[in-house]
Structure formats: C-alpha cells, structure tokens
Amino acid sequence: MLIEDLIKNNYLITPSAYYLLEPHYKRDFTLAELIKFAKSRGTFVIDSSIAEAFLAEKGLFSTGELTEQTPLEVSEEEPLEAFQVEISEEIAESAETPVPETVTASQSEEIPSSEDVESSEAPGSISTGDVVGSEIPTASSEGESFEPAEIVGETSISTGTTLELEQSSASNLVEEPISGEFSEGESFVSTGTPEPVKLENNAIDSPDESLTEVVEDSLPLESNGNGNGYGNYADSEEYYENGENGNGVKPKIVYGDYGIPIAYVGEDVEGEKSYSTYKDVVIKPREGFHYRAKEIPDEWEIKFDVKNVKFEAPKVKNAASKEGEIIIQAYSSYFKSRLRKMRRIFRENPEIGTVIDIAKLSYVRDDEVTIIGLVNDKRETAKGYMFEVEDATGRVKVFLGRDKENASQAYNAIMPDSVVAFRGQPGRGIFFANRVFLPDIPKFRREKPPLEEKVYAILLSDIHVGSNKFCEKAFEKFLEWLNGEVNSRAEEELVSRIKYLIIGGDVVDGVGIYPGQYNELAIPDIFDQYEALANLLRNVPEHITTFIGPGNHDAARTALPQPGFYEEYAKPIYKLKNAVIISNPAVINLHGREFLIAHGRGIEDVVDFIPGRTHHKPAEAMVDLLKLRHLAPTFGNKVPIAPDPEDTLVIESVPDLFQAGHVHVMEHRVYNGVFVINSGTWQAQTEFQKMVNIVPTPARVPIIDVETARLRAVVSFEQFCEGV
Ligand code: D5M
Ligand code: FE
Ligand code: ZN
C-alpha cells in the first residue's frame, strides 16, 4: 500500500524504511505528510534515515532494531503478443541455422557456484601467509593452453592441474588458470584461517539453473524521461532547494543542454571543505621495488576513438526545413550506417550466399536468396517465428519455422533493431526463411605472434569517486599495492609487469544521476569529484599508462557514444601524467592485441530483451552483444543513442578482449576466442541497488596477460571495502 502510493507519486522507499513506516501508515501519518517531509529533505528516496527522522518528528520513533532488509518484490513479465497471421504450408524444409551454441556448461558441476563461494568466505580476516593448495579444473573445450609466468621459489604458482597459491596478508591473490570456452575458473585465496582455496566461478552457468529474479525492470523507474535510463525523475532545481546532506554545502543543481547535471558555479565554499578530495593521499613506489615494465617498450595505440570520427551534419533541402525533418534524416542516416557496416560484417561469412535488397525480392522466383536487415519487430506464432525486417530499400515480413535448426535460440538472441540475415525464398508478401544468421564472431582466428616478455594490463571500471559507498580504503590499498606493497613473490611478479591500466567509465559518481543520489554523495560537487579522482590516480606509478573512458555517471554526453569527458569539469584527469582519455566505446591496441572498451549500458537492454539474462551474469550478456556485433542494438529502451550520421557502436572489428563495466559485477568468459570481462566496481551496494536487488562485487582487480588477452589473476581488496 505505502509502496504503491509512494510510487504513484514518483517516490521510492527502501525496504528498511518501509518496515519502519508501514505499521504507522494511515494510522499515525498520511501520505501527504510523508511526501512533504521527503520533499523538505530534497529526496525522492525515503530511506531509513529519512524514515527515522520523520517518525521522530511525529514522536513515533523508538530506537528498536531495524527489521531485516528484504528486497522489494516487484516482478512482472510482459506477455508476448500472439501472432495472428496464418502461415501457409509452403514453408521450406528445415536447414541448419548457423547460430552457435551459446553455452556449454559441461564443467559446471566441478566448480562451486559463486554463491557458494561468497557464503563461505570470511572477509576481513587476515591470514598468516600459509600456503594452500587447490585443484583447479583446467579442462579446455577449445584446447587453449596457457603459459604461466615464471615465478621462482617456494611461492611459485603453476597453472597446471594443481594450483598452489600463497595466501596474502593484505590482498586476495587469485591465479587464473586459462581454460576454454566458458570455463574460466578463478580462485580466490581467502584471508581467513588456512582452508582450501575456494573457486569463484562467475563464468560458468549450468543449463538448468534457476534464474535470479531481476526486479528492477518492473519498478516504475524506466520511462526514460531524463535520458539516463533511470526513469522519469526529471530532477529539477526546486527539489534540492532545501536539501542539505550534512556536508554543510547547500546543493544547487542546474541542467545543461543534454540533461547533464552541472554543478552551479559560484557555490564554492570558501576555506576548508567538510569532505576530503584525497589531497593527502600520496603514495610513492616502495624503495628498491623493481618494475620490469619500465624496461619493456611502450606499445599502444588508440585504434578507434569516437573523437576521431568526423561526423557530417545531416543534409536538409533548405534552411527552412522543419526541425523534425532534420531529426528523421539524422536517424535515417544512423540506421543506414548501421546496415552498411553490418552488411560488411556479413560479407565475411561464406555461408551467407547472394544478398539482395528487400525491394528486389519480387523479382526473385524460386532461388534461395539472403536478405540483411534491421529487425523492427519479432513475434512467436503457433508454427514458428515472425519478424519484420527492414533494409534501406524496403520492409518485409519474414517467417522462420520452429523446425529450423536453432530457430528458437536465434529468435531469443535477436534484440529489437539488431541486424540479422535470413536466407530463404520470397513468398506472397512474406519471406520464408530457412536459415537465420547473426553477424556473430568467427569461430576461429589466427593466432597472434608471441610477445618477448610478459606484460600485464589491469582493468577497472565504476570507481564512483564521490559516492559515500566508494571503497576508498580498498582503492588506497590497491594503489599501495601498485606501488610495491605486495605480500608475496607472486604478487611482486605481477605488479612488476603491469604496464597499462584501463578504466571503463563511471569514474566518479556524478551529481543528480538518479533520484535521491544526493543523500549518498560524500563529495557533492562534480568538480571536486574529478579532483579527488585525479588525486588518487596521480599515485599510479608513472610508467603505467592509464586509459580513462566515461560512463553514465560522468560529466559527458548522456547518449551513446560518449566522445570523452567534458573538459571543463574533468580537467584534473586530463592533466594527469600518463593518462589517456578515451571515448566510450574505444578500441585500444596493446602490443598487437585489440581491447574493446565500453562502459556497457547495452547490457541493461540485453537483460530486458533476452530471456534468461541477468545483471548478475554480465559476461553472458556481453557475449550476446558480441553475437549481434553491436554495443547497444536497441533504440529507445534504456540506453539513449545519439543520432550520429555514423553508427560507432557497431563492433566492426573482432577484438581479442572485450571489457565493459556498468553492472558492478565482475565476471568473465571466453567466446569464440574473445576474452569477455566485466570489470566490476569500487562502490559498495547503494540504497538504490539494494532496492533493485543488484549485488555488486567491489574492489577486485583483474590482471590481464596482454599476450594471451586472458585473465592472469584477480586480486581482491574487498575486505577493505566498508559496507559490503
Ligand atoms: O549502474 C550500476 C548498476 O545499477 C547497473 O546494473 C544499473 C543499475 N541501476 C542503477 N540505478 C538503477 C535504476 N534506477 N534502475 C535500474 N537499475 C539501476 P550505475 O551506472 O553505476 O548507476
Ligand atoms: Fe557504475
Ligand atoms: Zn554505469
């Protein structure tokens, strides 16, 4: 009742606040009183502190125990519209559809699930450095082999069948045995009392697992009013008028052209600020620490950056053309560009056959032909699947019988507006497909020449500096570790060879990104957030090149692609030595290996459209994007896409590694030779995430062996992350 009433008024309530308030609702207070109170506090989210203050004001609050928090249960599935059109019997014989198996979870029984691991971990306790051994399955469905780095002495690590790991006293080092498709096991050394190494295995899913319920989609948050995809909370200045968040700074937020929150200039508080921007965090490399990476020549290149793409403004007939016409033209060029690029990708597939324009289908008699187009619509019918497909010349209905091989898998994998190919025969007003092709990633690829020396890259994202849930202590520990404060020879070897650091967006928490965020900001000023981030990152040893790209929390264009950070806000990070600002997305070439870096908002749409996908298994969703060769295929759902004349979100070239973040869960797997990894976060669970049941995996540092573009190890600083 209370929840619904609040939601109707665009207010949200956290579970803990709900349990506090519910017993009194309508008995001791009215909805209007509560809303008035929340409004006076400048928030849309009624959390337990608001609830307590409200009850206290009403003389109702007793300092009893809080009821245990349970996530809101709001789940609802949209029923599929049944397809009405009758399909005639001229459907051709079934043919093999080339959509590859997505998941083979044959090894899944051997490895405990990540839930098992989490429940048995003892975070926070420090070990005495005992050596533990563990068996880690390294079975590889692809037959990939992996060369472990040479580590000498007692603490040596081998990635053979038996893996020995040294327990670290300040961090959890994880050696990564490289195995094949979807079978990357990673092991965490617990920092508790010596016990067998536990395997964390985010990458493996069993075929019949029950799905984690994802409730965020059904929360009424998503009418996409303000372009950040988080609903219609068009935060406006007035809501913050009376707000103060304990920092002694009166918030005032104004919005720029793109709906980007802009800190109000002139509000700067003179003198000491009540919050830290980490000026005092100064970490120097440990004396005598030998960085091998310093001696290895730099070899990096930004292969693709949106900033380097010259966009031409859409041409309109004359200056008097209506604005709407310009917009339609812009979107039409955008989708034409997508089609062009996808056709190029499909051309590399020898099975595709003769491709013809949809407008020319009526000239085709009995031959089998292929059409390539954007899928505007898809439905399931009694006998199969119906699609509406459009290319630059026309539109056609396509029927794919249920009996065709992989038909249902392909149907599920196709997201709205993605580009697919159908091979078949045209019938009366309908195209009868025998096969469906996703653009996909080729199964085999040429091996790259080996590197002379081991060199490592570390991948981070979603640091969220400025959030009161930012794991600052863990991040500082990580910086110390990079500066040589290691706990073992194995760690020393890793740190010594780290040459690159890639940060994939949400580097700060931003201001006004979601309703009620203000209450969760430790640094309520966007300028100071970037200052704080830069103060931390200047402690990254100088020989490590740091690539930094934006996400949806950053001061950057909201819509994808994001060319970079707005310089006027993010100046401190532009000024960092050895930092390279990249766009979202970007492709970096490291020693001949291609790393595709994206913040990863497209994952949200995958979760919305592809059955069985959840925020908790982002690597799976990233594979879906790879198969569609697009970072955010669907237009007009959660992810705002700019109508640039060129679609820069197409995954044109097959990367060796695909990194994304955004969902705050670290997970990785291999798909057709591409290493797919979500780099997690440095932010503990926010009130908001609590409500939508997102459980982050903060403060984990994946270390990538550049040569193989595979995971070498994961080091966890999670025990230093408060609030986890
Ligand atoms: O996103 C962090 C994660 O939280 C990502 O999985 C999206 C999710 N998230 C955050 N806010 C919302 C709302 N309002 N609705 C649904 N899902 C949400 P980040 O970009 O760091 O905020
Ligand atoms: Fe994030
Ligand atoms: Zn994000």
pLDDT at 112: 37
- To test the pocket of ligand 1, the residue of 663, 666, 693, 697 to mutate (highest count of ligand atoms within 8 Å of its CB) is 663
CA distance linking residue 238 with residue 469, whole number of Å = 26
**Res. 314 pLDDT band, cuts 50 70 90:** low
Which amino acid is it at 197?
V
Residue 686 Cα to ligand 1 midpoint, Å, equals 10
Would the CB of 216 count as within 6 Å of ligand 1? yes
Ligand 3 ion: residues within 5 Å (CB)? 506, 551-552, 662
Looking at residues 586-593, what average pLDDT do you find? Answer: 98
Atom of ligand 1 nearest to the CA of 551: 20
pLDDT digits over 14-37, tens only?
777 888 888 888 889 888 888 888
DSSP states of 530-544: HHHHHHHHTTS-TTS
Q: Which residue has the higher pLDDT, 598 or 215?
A: 598
- To test the pocket of ligand 1, the residue of 230, 467, 666 to mutate (highest count of ligand atoms within 8 Å of its CB) is 230
pLDDT at 327: 67
pLDDT at 713: 97
Looking at residues 29-48, what average pLDDT do you find? Answer: 85
Question: Which ligand is the nearest neighbour of the Cα of 461?
Answer: 2
End-to-end CA distance of the chain: 30
Three-class secondary structure assignment of 73-127: CCCCCCCCCCCCCCCCCCCCCCCCCCCCCCCCCCCHHHCCCHHHHHHHCCCCCCC
Would the CB of 552 count as within 6 Å of ligand 1? yes
Q: Which residue has the higher pLDDT, 451 or 160?
A: 451
Would the CB of 462 count as within 6 Å of ligand 1? yes
Please name the residue whose Cα sits nearest to atom 7 of ligand 1.
663
Would the CB of 72 count as within 6 Å of ligand 1? no
Which DSSP state fits 716?
E
Would the CB of 650 count as within 6 Å of ligand 1? no
Would the CB of 688 count as within 6 Å of ligand 1? yes
Q: Which alpha helices (DSSP H) does 202-322 contain, by range?
A: 237-240
Closest CA to 478 of 119, 54, 171, 137: 171
**Res. 599 pLDDT band, cuts 50 70 90:** very high
pLDDT digits over 441-476, tens only?
999 888 899 999 999 999 999 999 999 999 999 999
pLDDT at 147 over 70: no
Residue 569 Cα to ligand 3 midpoint, Å, equals 18
pLDDT at 523 over 70: yes
CA distance linking residue 227 with residue 239, whole number of Å = 19
Please name the residue whose Cα sits nearest to atom 13 of ligand 1.
230
Would the CB of 230 count as within 6 Å of ligand 1? yes
Residue 17 Cα to ligand 1 midpoint, Å, equals 20
pLDDT at 505 over 80: yes
Looking at residues 581-600, what average pLDDT do you find? Answer: 98
**Res. 653 pLDDT band, cuts 50 70 90:** very high
Average pLDDT, the chain: 77
pLDDT at 227 over 60: no
Would the CB of 557 count as within 6 Å of ligand 1? no
pLDDT digits over 543-558, tens only?
999 999 999 999 999 9
Looking at residues 35-40, what average pLDDT do you find? Answer: 86
pLDDT at 178: 42
**Res. 220 pLDDT band, cuts 50 70 90:** very low
pLDDT at 330: 74
Atom of ligand 1 nearest to the CA of 615: 6
Ligand 2 ion: residues within 5 Å (CB)? 462, 506
CA distance linking residue 702 with residue 694, whole number of Å = 21
- To test the pocket of ligand 1, the residue of 694, 695, 697 to mutate (highest count of ligand atoms within 8 Å of its CB) is 694
Q: Which residues pair with 421 in a beta bridge?
A: 372, 437
Atom of ligand 1 nearest to the CA of 231: 14
pLDDT digits over 664-711, tens only?
999 999 999 999 999 999 999 998 889 889 999 999 999 999 999 999
Looking at residues 351-378, what average pLDDT do you find? Answer: 93
CA distance linking residue 511 with residue 631, whole number of Å = 25
Would the CB of 662 count as within 6 Å of ligand 1? yes
Residue matched to tokens 């919050």: 275
pLDDT at 329 over 90: no
Would the CB of 616 count as within 6 Å of ligand 1? no
Q: Which residue has the higher pLDDT, 606 or 28?
A: 606
**Which of 167-181, 263-277, 407-421, 468-482 has the lowest average pLDDT?**
167-181
- To test the pocket of ligand 1, the residue of 12, 688, 697 to mutate (highest count of ligand atoms within 8 Å of its CB) is 688
Please name the residue whose Cα sits nearest to atom 17 of ligand 1.
216
Query: pLDDT exceeding 90 applies to what percent of the chain?
Result: 55
Query: pLDDT exceeding 70 applies to what percent of the chain?
Result: 69
CA dihedral 469, 702, 602, 522 (to 10 degrees): 10
* CA-to-CA separations, 638 to 63, 211, 289, 388, 718, in angstroms, rounded: 40, 22, 47, 22, 30
Would the CB of 554 count as within 6 Å of ligand 1? no
Looking at residues 123-130, what average pLDDT do you find? Answer: 32
Q: Which residues pair with 470 in a beta bridge?
A: 683
pLDDT at 8: 74
Atom of ligand 1 nearest to the CA of 515: 14
Looking at residues 301-328, what average pLDDT do you find? Answer: 75
Highest mean predicted confidence (pLDDT) among 102-111, 115-124, 442-451, 657-666: 657-666
Please name the residue whose Cα sits nearest to atom 10 of ligand 1.
689
**Which of 113-122, 259-268, 373-382 has the lowest average pLDDT?**
113-122
**Res. 321 pLDDT band, cuts 50 70 90:** low
Q: Structure tokens of 536?
A: 């931390």
Would the CB of 663 count as within 6 Å of ligand 1? yes
Q: Structure tokens of 493?
A: 């070897």
Residue 696 Cα to ligand 1 midpoint, Å, equals 11
CA-based torsion, 528, 533, 538, 539: positive or negative: positive
Would the CB of 713 count as within 6 Å of ligand 1? no
Residue 513 Cα to ligand 1 midpoint, Å, equals 10
**Res. 40 pLDDT band, cuts 50 70 90:** confident
Q: Which alpha helices (DSSP H) does 199-322 contain, by range?
A: 237-240
Would the CB of 615 count as within 6 Å of ligand 1? yes
* CA-to-CA separations, 606 to 94, 305, 416, 550, 585, in angstroms, rounded: 28, 24, 10, 21, 17
CA dihedral 662, 663, 669, 673 (to 10 degrees): -30
CA distance linking residue 143 with residue 65, whole number of Å = 55
**Res. 253 pLDDT band, cuts 50 70 90:** low
Atom of ligand 1 nearest to the CA of 601: 20
